[in-house]
Chain A
Amino acid sequence: MIENAWLIPVLPAVAFVVIVFLIRQFKMLSALTAIAAMAVSFIISVGIVWEIIQGGATMKKPVEYFVNWLDLPGLNIQAGILIDPLAAAMLFVVTFVALLVMIYSVGYMHGDPGFSVFFSYLSLFSASMLGLVVANNYFQMFFFWELVGLCSYLLIGYYFHKPSAVQANKKAFITNRWGDFGFMLGIFFLFLVFGTFNFGELAKAIPKYDNVAFLTLAGILVFIGPIAKSAQFPLHVWLPDAMEGPTPVSALIHAATMVAAGVYLVARGFVLFHSVETVALVVAWVGGLSALIAATIALVQDDCKRIMAFSTMSQLGYMLMALGVGSLTAGMFHLTTHAFFKALMFLAAGSVIHATHKQNIFEMGGLRKSMPITTWTTVIGALALAGIFPLAGFWSKDEILVAAYTEGAYALFGLASLVAFMTAFYMFRMVFVVFWGDEPEGQHAHESPLTMTIPLIILAFFSIFSGFIGSPLVETGFFSYVYYKYPHPPEPNYMIMISSTVLALAGIGLAWLIYGKKSISAEALKQRFQPIHTLLYNKFYIDELYLWLFDKVMLNISTAFNWNDRHIVDGIFDGIGDLTRAAGARLRFIHTGSLQNYALVIFAAVVIIMLWMAVPALGGI
């Protein structure tokens, strides 16, 4: 199966081309084509995972093959396939989630005029992400990295008649551009020193290279890419706005494709990020801070998709923190489990939005009765996200905490624990408000169609059980395949397990008190902490800061440049022209316009020339 891995990204890409050029008119056929292509990719991915479990490829002995995409003397760019357990896990997650999202979209997007186009975009999105996952070099990664950005642009702006949607997709693209800028510089630095983009060759060369300053620079530059793509502070501003896209897209972006790419890149370039202590520290702290910032913001938001967006940001911060403190296994494990329950949460939210056509959680309520499947799957997802034993999130989050603790990063550990508490709180705040509470007037919600609920159920299943593959309960689990240098079987640290569970339960309990039982007034709290609430509600005013930077600084500089161009530069050149013209206007009086005057001058000149030439005294011949 591994030798057929190239088909995984190619099939959805083919589906994209086929849909766009051939069968756009036939809506169902388009959807089926996209789903079929993705299903085959998924099957191949499963095959690859199976082979890897058989020992077909390990982290130390990956399977790699490539063709030359561009071959110049001194510059060899490959289009390659690199399959190791890391890639295989990612392939499985991406194809699985994408497949479910596509199936779900059949129901969700039903009746939309751009139905086929939507599926073609989804195919392209998945293809780009899969191409990124199988990449064997930084260049290819960058290539697909940008394509992922493009697809997110297309999909976020899918409702292009909505000004907010086009604003959001532009923001997403441009923010990601900043990341790409750093990423590109970073790989240029790597190329400059090592002369290659290939992961394997770099992994061999980097440890032997001892210019710390250089590696720090390259590492941090490359890391700017993930900061933007995985929506980490300070380039996270696009992620909440990206909710303008249709909900299945949000699920895809948040669970499997877009944001996961950043974490995946850090995992892929683990050698680089851990070649220097500083870089690893930066990665860890950016992750940790983002997790905290996002969690605090999520506490007060009232748009259900936004809450989840900040939750994603927070969880991605977790993963990066894990990678930063040195545990590839924990980071990737959390990425995997998170993909399941975050996709679940989003698809469930989509189901709710589909039913109520609202997004503000305080305008909903009591959906428990009308939408049972959605309600219970959401609860499962929220529990998993909060890290309640024995759901998936518990195991993966726990591993991160253990990793932070054992690496001695106590500050990060404390921070992560705090975030765990907040996560539980804001997730259940949403759950209680939306599904419990009173039904508002005029709410006619009903359960979504089967194409939407079946993916929910499947994802709920995985949200419960996928954690066991990496738990200390199994002997050869996730950790024995996906690791850095050598496998680290997790050692159960019961103290951390218990404390994190207690924290999560405390969060849930607090949410219940405030929003479920309403024994503590949310309003009163809000009044009491008004400034903090405003600050958090406005997301620390970071968007406003950027807007100010762009509107006031950048645009004004541009306007000044434009003025300079039109008046100074053009003025100088037009001035030369005007000068010539003015000189002409003065000199033209020499030209009397009188014929005989001209003739006179001509003959006077003839005389002078003759004098000069003919008279020996004047130098004549």
Chain B
Amino acid sequence: MITLEHYLILAAVLFCIGLWGALAKRSAIMVLMSIELMLNAVNINLVAFSRFLTPDALVGQVFAIFVIVVAAAEVAVGLAIVINIYRERQTSFVDEFDWLKW
């Protein structure tokens, strides 16, 4: 029997892997990919809640759709920024983006 907890733990595992990737990888594109992983993990949570707690309302799924929309927008803008930065600095490694410090 697969219960809600299974899904939640699985989502947590994926989320934390994504987090590790986002924190520990040098490439900006990799960071973005990791963030996608995390967002998807969250979506699993939402849909799982929707399925197990309020199966008839579907609000969780609607929320997940919006998350997907935002994630798509985010990845588009994020990649555009990465490309722009790459053009300026000839690098896509996040630890070389240090000009937040003036």
Nearest chain B CB to A367 CB, angstrom units = 86
- The answer to whether B23 touches A596 (Cβ under 8 A) is yes
Instruction: Find chain B residues with CB under 8 A from A600 CB.
Output: 23
Instruction: Give the secondary structure class of A's interface.
Output: helix
Q: Which of B22, B23, B31, B98 contacts A592 (CB 8 A)?
A: B98
Chain B: residues with CB nearer than 8 A to chain A?
A: 19, 22-24, 31, 94-95, 97-101
Q: Does A603 contact B (CB under 8 A)?
A: yes
- The answer to whether A596 touches B98 (Cβ under 8 A) is no
Please report which residues of chain A, range 560-598, place their CB below 8 angstroms from some CB of chain B when the two chains form the complex: 588, 591-596
Number of interface residues of A (CB under 8 A): 10
- The answer to whether A593 touches B23 (Cβ under 8 A) is no
Q: Give the residue name and chain of the B residue nearest to A606 (CB).
A: B19
Nearest chain B CB to A172 CB, angstrom units = 61
Complex Cα gap A593–B98 (Å): 5
Instruction: Find chain A residues with CB under 8 A from B24 CB.
Output: 596
Other A-B contacts than A593-B99, A599-B22, 17 sampled, CB-CB below 8 A, are: A588-B101, A591-B101, A592-B98, A592-B101, A593-B98, A593-B100, A593-B101, A594-B94, A594-B95, A594-B97, A595-B97, A595-B100, A596-B23, A596-B31, A596-B94, A596-B95, A600-B23
Complex Cα gap A594–B23 (Å): 11
Nearest chain B CB to A547 CB, angstrom units = 57
Q: Give the residue name and chain of the A residue nearest to B100 (CB).
A: A593
| Given A600-B23, A603-B19, A603-B23: A595 touches B101 (CB 8 Å cut-off) | no
Q: Give the residue name and chain of the A residue nearest to B24 (CB).
A: A596
5 closest Cβ pairs, A-B complex:
A593-B101, A593-B98, A593-B100, A595-B94, A600-B23
Complex Cα gap A107–B5 (Å): 116
Instruction: Find chain B residues with CB under 8 A from A593 CB.
Output: 98-101
Instruction: Find chain A residues with CB under 8 A from B19 CB.
Output: 603
Q: Give the residue name and chain of the A residue nearest to B26 (CB).
A: A596
Instruction: Find chain A residues with CB under 8 A from B101 CB.
Output: 588, 591-593
Complex Cα gap A213–B94 (Å): 87
- Can you list 29 residue pairs at the A/B interface with Cβ under 8 Å? A588-B101, A591-B100, A591-B101, A592-B98, A592-B101, A593-B98, A593-B99, A593-B100, A593-B101, A594-B94, A594-B95, A594-B97, A594-B98, A594-B100, A595-B31, A595-B94, A595-B97, A595-B100, A596-B22, A596-B23, A596-B24, A596-B31, A596-B94, A596-B95, A599-B22, A599-B23, A600-B23, A603-B19, A603-B23
